Structures are given as structure tokens and as C-alpha cells.
Amino acid sequence: MPIENKQMPDNPNIIVSTATDPIDLSSDPQKSLGELQAMLASTKGTAHLIVDCLGVHPGFSDIVIGMATSSADPNSPLRSERLKTVIVAEGKIFESMVVWFKQGNYGQLDMPLFKTVDEAIKFVKKG
């Protein structure tokens, strides 16, 4: 599957979602959200989602479709008050994406951007 979700063995409240090419951003995120919802339900308190996008190379339209697919539904796990999401990626398109996610039509989601998964893990462990 182009998106793989795993809970960290030492801390199940940290979920790492790794995306790899080839990915269909119109359908793959939706498939992953059901699994993510189940993982979120198995945790207590605040959970952290680290979305590792280093393995994907989307274009502008792919990003917009993926954002709408994953966040438009008010019941999306990305909109859960218990879930704090960070993005791991490089490039202008991802820098723009984290700004666009703050818009109302994408859920007004604050998703800090990191260049490595290790940086993101350190950030979420600080709380």
C-alpha cells in the first residue's frame, strides 16, 4: 500500500504514516484514514501523527486533491482534537501545503513541517 500507518512500539500514541510513490492522492489517503481512525481509537489522550512524505513527489493538483480527500470530511481523523499532525517533507509544494491546511476549507489544521522523521519524533515527544 502506498501509505503505511504504524504505531511506535515504545509509544503507541505516536503514529508514523509513510507515503511512497506511486500514490493516488484521490483514493489512497481515504483508505489510510480508516486505519488511522482505528489506531486513534486505541489510544488515550493526545495522539501524534507524523506524515512522512519524503517518498512521494506530487504535483500541485495532486496536493490539492489529497488535501481535500483527507481533510474535507468533518469526521476525518485529521480534524480530531486529540490528534496533532506534523509533516515530514522537503520542497516548496509541501511548504505551501502546510499553509493551505490552515485555511477553513481544509479544516484550519496546523501541521508543522520537518525535514526528517527523527526531527518530527523529537518534536512530538517534547509535547
State residue 1's pLDDT score: 63
The string of pLDDT tens digits covering residues 69-113 is 888 888 899 999 999 999 999 999 999 999 999 998 898 999 999
The string of pLDDT tens digits covering residues 26-37 is 888 888 989 999
98: nearest Cα among 113, 117, 120: 113
The residue behind cell 495532486 is 62
Distance separating alpha carbons of residues 51 and 104, to the nearest angstrom: 21
- What is the number of domains present in the chain? 1
The mean per-residue pLDDT over the stretch 42-51 comes to 96
17: nearest Cα among 58, 51, 53, 55: 51
The x, y and z cell numbers of residue 50, run together, are 507524523
Domain that holds residue 14: 3-126
Domain containing residue 100: CATH number? 3.90.190
